Structure 1
Amino acid sequence: MKNSASFSPLFLTSRAGIWFACVTSSAGLMLNSAQAQTSVTPALQDVVITANRIPTKLTDVLADVTVIDRAELDLVGQGSLIDVLANLPGVQISRNGSYRSASSVFLRGATSSQTVILVDGIRIGSATSGTPALENIPLDRIERIEVLRGAASALYGSDAVGGVIHIITRDPGIKPVFTANVGVGGDGQQQAGLSVRGSVGELGYSLGWSREKADGISVLENPLSSAFNPDRDGFQASSVDAKLRYQVTPLHQLSLGLLHSDTDYQFDGSASPNPLKLTKANTDARAYSTLNNLSAQWQAQWLPNWKSTLAFGIAEDQSVTKYFRSTDGAFGGSGKFNTRRNQASWQNDVNFGSDVLSFAIEQRREEVDSSMNYSVKARDLMGAMLSYALRTGDWSALAVLRTDHNSQFGSHTNWSLSGGYQFTPDWRAVLSSGTSFQAPSFNQLYYPGFGNAALTPQQNQSNEIGLKYRHGNVNVEATVYQNDVRGFINPSTNVQSALAILRGLSLSGTWQIGASQMSASYDYADPRTQPNNLRLLRIARHVTNFRIQHQFSDVSVFSELKWSSDREDNNLSFTGRDKLAAYRLLNVGANWQISPQWALLVRINNLSNTHYVLANNYSTPGRNAFASLSWKY
């Protein structure tokens, strides 16, 4: 992994009659020719955006950020976005069984709903569960991923308790480029993808299509489960994406973006109500997950030191479950939990020498369409943000103040203050403090038999201190953090406790020796609720990742090793807890650049065929091989 550039101005929400979606493409989309002429922005490979919503040189970034680029994604093979995130510092995951099953991501010990997920700058996710269907985002359509760890509500509004994950899809190019790929693997895995991007005059374009499927494995592994069925639970997924970018003048740029992705995966579940009297042996349960993002953006350079970005967006998260009788396909019931987010934003950035003053206003409307009868089905959120990024000599700082108004819970003000000191050419110390908040989801408030309309927003304060070392091809970072969440809502019980303390340590490094590139990370996380001092579920105390890649002429070989300590989860009856055992995983692979146009990837995940559990009673894949052939012209 390496640090790279991506574009993510905060995209706000609005309620007009027609909604467009705000495109945030890569930094190249943001850094138009006018900006290059004024030399406001550094070279793309040296820029990070998500950390403070303005282009910032990598060496000046104060936040704890990791960026994954396309070159690394090309080596993932049969893995998914969830698998990519699982190998990053400060990130842990859980998965409910087979390939592309429902999954969760935990940043710095925060729950899965306490991370903001952006796709091309548009906030995605379910307003009912509070979590996004990350398994529904196609890896083949991603250009880069930027992960910001730490409380970030001052920058991004509600829910950014653990951090922000920004996913940037494929960006228009300059010269026409055609790509195609096919792949096959164990458990019936098949992949295919096509894309083209380039430009005609002032118009840049990117179009892509991908499809995946697999026979899968049985989702549940515990025969005592009420829904256990030992059959294979497969999936099929398809996606299309498109981006258009038009340079109207050297100072004005328009862009449009579209991403559609849908996944159909099987799982072990029970219909309720159950008119056909289905049993766990003859139930074919299917989940249909759809993501729709539509976007429009206008970037303007009004003065050499004043740039504005006006963006509009729609994000739809559709989740439908259907139950059939496996013997004859008879329909046995369904349920739906759909969310629509209308978004709009206007951000202005003014440069004062090396300093940048930013101001943004935002609006978002969340609407729920569900088979459940929620007493409230929509809410409006408005926000305003002011930030100042300072750079003077060896000192740098970022101050952010933000106010948000939630139509259900009133107004909340959050702040963050970060500072850094370069005390030698190679060493830098950083210190950050800030607040965040999170409003309860619609499920937490209104789900029949579970919801509690008396819940109030969770509020937290986070503090962290870090040390960064950069010299040549060696980068090392260490961060110690503590995040106190007051009024913490337990995701499994929906009980609001007095306090949750998320504390931990993150160490990471990358270095290169000759033709070998290596990366390693270690995380200690111990999130606990108070006053009962219980660990948060599905979070391991210790996680270590190591990766090495070596280039032999046209062949690159790599190996990935993960070690995780034990974690806790609810037992089958939800009356106590089970301990999920520690585990080790080893993945290996090779990529052969046959010619400038052709490449062959071979990859084996879980080489030692380790049995491990990320969520109690749910299966995980064993040893699995995959091979793909790609063409680029």
Structure 2
Amino acid sequence: MLFRNTPFFVLTSLAASLCAQAETILLPPVITTAARQPQSPREVIGDVTLIDQASIQESAAISLPDLLARQPGLQISSNGGAGKPSSVFLRGNNSQHTLVLIDGIRVGSATLGAAAFQHFPLSQIDRIEILRGPAASLYGSDAIGGVIQIFSKTGKKGFHPSVEIGYGSHNSIEAKAGISGGDEDTRYALNLAHSKTDGISAIKNSKNPGFYPDDDGYENNSLSFSLTHKINKDNELGASLISAWGKNQLDGYVFDDNYAAVAQSYDYRDETRNSSANIWSKNRLTSHWSSLIKLGHSSDKNTSFTPQSATDYSDKTSRIQTEQTQLSWLNDIKTDLGTFQLGAETLEQKVSGDVAYAVDQRRINSLQAGYLAHFGDVSLQINARSDDNSQLGRHNTGSAGLAWQLNDDWQLGGTAGTAFKAPTFNDLYWPEDPYSSGNANLRPEESNNKELFIRYSAGTINASLTAYTNKVSNLIQWAESRPYFSQPMNVGEAQLRGITLTSDWQQGDYLAGFSYDFLDASDKSTGANHGNRLARRAKHSGLIYAGMTLDTWTLRAEIQAQGHRFDDPANKKELAGYALTNLSASWKINKDWSLQARVNNLFDQEYEQVKDYGTLGRNAMLNLRWQQ
């Protein structure tokens, strides 16, 4: 998959080289998500972006969704500011069609089918890899649009404490502290973070029945921990953890006996906990055979608070929780013909809370095989996987990719693959009421993707062009199964076609670049919406940036743009296009101290990502950091 020197990566690699401590050694980047084994960027087949730690620190992003929105091939919609529900559309696919991993462990809700990106703070993340295109042959269900893998922070040799404080618009506060260190054999890292903001009104349109003119704040507390120990040159053990607790205020209403919207003044809110932990053993069994065994657990917990009734504003709580336990064993066997990968995995998903599902757990047992080889200037990757779901039976997927190094500067390649998404517990087993219910007869959603890419890398310029087409069938949509009674049904189809163009330039102390996406995301279902654009997907989006260094300063300016979209499948509610200008600057005061300032939406652009919901106007943040 194509490694991109993203705008953040290019800028911050330069900043890091100027400001790094004397003992720091800059290692070449390694990508693991594309083949479930380490690869150099030149070896990767397809479409991947790496966002490293330096890029995260130096970016002007205020949250993980904000950072992802600036990456090629991704569009984001957020319901009203910090901590509010966010949807990620990777290559135009539904938000539930992106698999999210933390250190190789699945995270997210098995009832809603998506991960809570808004609750994972950037301060706990070491790097992010974004794999575009179907990856079910590597990871199983959900990876129709691709994979976003988050890696927790790890330690490095020595002892390195750090403290950071920040203050910004909307009474936003950030406080972070951490220690990391170790020796040749043992490394550790522990990081704590707190953030809080008064926020903005989640709903901004006064005509919306849920509108209430107050600020809807958000608070997040988080920690991450990692530990690795090298027993000898062939055997290594490790463990990692990320956990975040959130408190989030919302806008809402309930109906009275006359079906009028009331109780807007109530403090609608939710409390969340999202976590992922794993332990692993990496072993070189022979000179040609390496093994990775990993046991992990993730949880997604949410407690919502609403009024008891239209006249009783005391708290009514609603709880929902997903627990996922995953055990995997991967084996890489190197031969003269290439590297063969064999793997087995078992995943148990459980849901609990106030909703009584007819079935509240399932197990998926999986086998996978892969082949990766380099024949002179040609690279080949083949993957196949079989997933046996206790609810839905067996599903098989496969993919193949080929890359040809035309010369030192140019590479040409392509991939093809199938993917699927299993229905959620809500889709299958939502309890029946007089008007609706789940549907236990649903089939998995399926996709068939093909893409071609060409990339250029020489001297000061890196550029790439990727074209893709993805047909998604058996899409699950609510429809009437009998008069006045609705259920989720496999009645939808979509055609996703697009191109992604990126270019990055760096010369001495100066750099610049851009990314551009064209996306044709069309509804191919029969019915009134046939031929319409999928909701909240823009045809045109992109980013342009420029940066420079001035002694101990790094400066950056960027424009992030998105074309008009529709908020509904009927394409009746249009969302206007917008362009945001963001500025950031960092000053290396001395060896240990640095100051960072950022201003987002410099010209106070008014825009919407979801109809009637608020977005941040001009906002700024100032951070002071001490690190040894």
1:501 is matched with: 495
Alpha carbons of structure 1 residues 498 and 623: separation in structure 2 relative to 1, 3 Å: closer
The alignment partner of 2:138 has SS state of helix
Alpha carbons of structure 1 residues 78 and 459: separation in structure 2 relative to 1, 3 Å: closer
Contact 2:59 2:584 in 1 (8 A): no
Question: Which of 349, 357, 361 is equivalent to 2:332?
Answer: 349
Matched, 1:124 2:107: yes
CA distance in 1, matches of 2:571, 2:452: 36
| Within-5 A mapping of 1:250-329 | 250-270=233-253, 279-323=262-306
Structure-1-length-normalised TM-score: 0.89
Alpha carbons of structure 1 residues 543 and 77: separation in structure 2 relative to 1, 3 Å: closer
Contact 1:431 1:465 in 2 (8 A): yes
Alpha carbons of structure 1 residues 576 and 558: separation in structure 2 relative to 1, 3 Å: closer
Contact 1:101 1:135 in 2 (8 A): yes
Residues 539-568 of structure 1, C-alpha deviation per residue, up to 9 Å, x if partnerless?
A: 100001112221011011101101111001
Give, as a single letter, the amino acid of the residue that structure 1 aligns with 2:335: F
Give, as a single letter, the amino acid of the residue that structure 2 aligns with 1:507: L
1:24 is matched with: none
Contact 1:357 1:389 in 2 (8 A): yes
Question: Which of 79, 85, 98 is equivalent to 1:96?
Answer: 79
CA distance in 2, matches of 1:617, 1:583: 16
Give, as a single letter, the amino acid of the residue that structure 2 aligns with 1:596: K
CA distance in 1, matches of 2:502, 2:477: 30
Question: Which of 555, 558, 567 is equivalent to 1:557?
Answer: 555
| Within-5 A mapping of 1:151-300 | 151-200=134-183, 202-270=185-253, 279-300=262-283
Alpha carbons of structure 1 residues 384 and 214: separation in structure 2 relative to 1, 3 Å: same
The alignment partner of 2:285 has SS state of strand
Taking every aligned residue pair, what percent have the same amino acid on both sides?
Answer: 32
Matched, 1:512 2:512: no
Question: Which of 586, 596, 600 is equivalent to 2:595?
Answer: 600
Residues 560-619 of structure 1, C-alpha deviation per residue, up to 9 Å, x if partnerless?
A: 10111100113xxx9873000011100012111111111111111000100111111111
2:442 is matched with: 455
Residues 90-125 of structure 1, C-alpha deviation per residue, up to 9 Å, x if partnerless?
A: 000000102121111110000000001011111100
Alpha carbons of structure 1 residues 631 and 403: separation in structure 2 relative to 1, 3 Å: same
Cα deviation for residue 454 of structure 1 reads 2.8
Matched, 1:400 2:400: no
2:621 is matched with: 626
1:7 is matched with: none
Residues 68-96 of structure 1, C-alpha deviation per residue, up to 9 Å, x if partnerless?
A: 11111112356100011100000000001
Question: Which of 612, 619, 622 is equivalent to 1:617?
Answer: 612
| Within-5 A mapping of 1:532-543 | 532-543=530-541
Contact 1:226 1:280 in 2 (8 A): no
2:566 is matched with: 568
1:12 is matched with: none
CA distance in 2, matches of 1:48, 1:196: 26
Identify which range, 525-534 or 553-562, moves more after superposition.
Answer: 525-534
Structure 1 consecutive aligned stretches of length 4 or more whose deviation exceeds 6 Å: none
Cα deviation for residue 498 of structure 1 reads 4.7
1:528 is matched with: 522
Cα deviation for residue 53 of structure 1 reads 0.9
CA distance in 2, matches of 1:596, 1:355: 46
1:473 is matched with: 460
CA distance in 2, matches of 1:423, 1:543: 30
Contact 1:3 1:48 in 2 (8 A): no
1:16 is matched with: none
Contact 2:321 2:352 in 1 (8 A): yes
Contact 1:299 1:309 in 2 (8 A): yes
Give, as a single letter, the amino acid of the residue that structure 2 aligns with 1:446: Y
CA distance in 1, matches of 2:491, 2:168: 46
Identify which range, 125-134 or 261-270, moves more after superposition.
Answer: 261-270
CA distance in 1, matches of 2:231, 2:570: 63
Alpha carbons of structure 1 residues 395 and 201: separation in structure 2 relative to 1, 3 Å: closer
CA distance in 2, matches of 1:583, 1:459: 33
Question: Which of 90, 94, 100 is equivalent to 1:111?
Answer: 94
Cα deviation for residue 56 of structure 1 reads 1.4
Cα deviation for residue 355 of structure 1 reads 2.0
Question: Which of 424, 431, 437 is equivalent to 1:441?
Answer: 424
Give, as a single letter, the amino acid of the residue that structure 1 aligns with 2:318: G
Contact 1:474 1:512 in 2 (8 A): yes
Contact 1:133 1:289 in 2 (8 A): no
CA distance in 1, matches of 2:423, 2:196: 35
Matched, 1:417 2:376: no
Give, as a single letter, the amino acid of the residue that structure 2 aligns with 1:476: A
Contact 2:476 2:492 in 1 (8 A): no
CA distance in 2, matches of 1:171, 1:603: 26
| Within-5 A mapping of 1:20-99 | 44-77=27-60, 79-99=62-82
Cα deviation for residue 282 of structure 1 reads 2.2
Give, as a single letter, the amino acid of the residue that structure 2 aligns with 1:176: F
Contact 2:475 2:490 in 1 (8 A): yes
Q: Unaligned regions of 5+ residues in structure 2, if any?
A: 7-25, 480-486
Contact 1:479 1:507 in 2 (8 A): yes
Give, as a single letter, the amino acid of the residue that structure 2 aligns with 1:523: D
Contact 1:77 1:628 in 2 (8 A): no
Question: Which of 441, 444, 451 is equivalent to 1:464?
Answer: 451
Q: Unaligned regions of 5+ residues in structure 1, if any?
A: 5-42
Give, as a single letter, the amino acid of the residue that structure 1 aligns with 2:543: N
The alignment partner of 1:445 has SS state of helix
Identify which range, 106-115 or 282-291, moves more after superposition.
Answer: 282-291
CA distance in 1, matches of 2:252, 2:267: 8
Cα deviation for residue 308 of structure 1 reads 0.1
Give, as a single letter, the amino acid of the residue that structure 2 aligns with 1:617: D
Contact 2:535 2:571 in 1 (8 A): no
Contact 1:229 1:280 in 2 (8 A): no
CA distance in 2, matches of 1:214, 1:456: 42
Contact 1:254 1:297 in 2 (8 A): yes
1:22 is matched with: none
1:8 is matched with: none
Alpha carbons of structure 1 residues 450 and 188: separation in structure 2 relative to 1, 3 Å: farther
CA distance in 2, matches of 1:330, 1:476: 57
CA distance in 1, matches of 2:517, 2:343: 34
Structure-2-length-normalised TM-score: 0.90
How many residues are matched?
589
CA distance in 1, matches of 2:320, 2:566: 28
The alignment partner of 2:268 has SS state of strand
Give, as a single letter, the amino acid of the residue that structure 2 aligns with 1:98: G
Cα deviation for residue 502 of structure 1 reads 1.1
Alpha carbons of structure 1 residues 98 and 298: separation in structure 2 relative to 1, 3 Å: same
Alpha carbons of structure 1 residues 490 and 558: separation in structure 2 relative to 1, 3 Å: farther
Cα deviation for residue 280 of structure 1 reads 3.3
CA distance in 2, matches of 1:108, 1:278: 37
2:366 is matched with: 383
Cα deviation for residue 514 of structure 1 reads 2.0
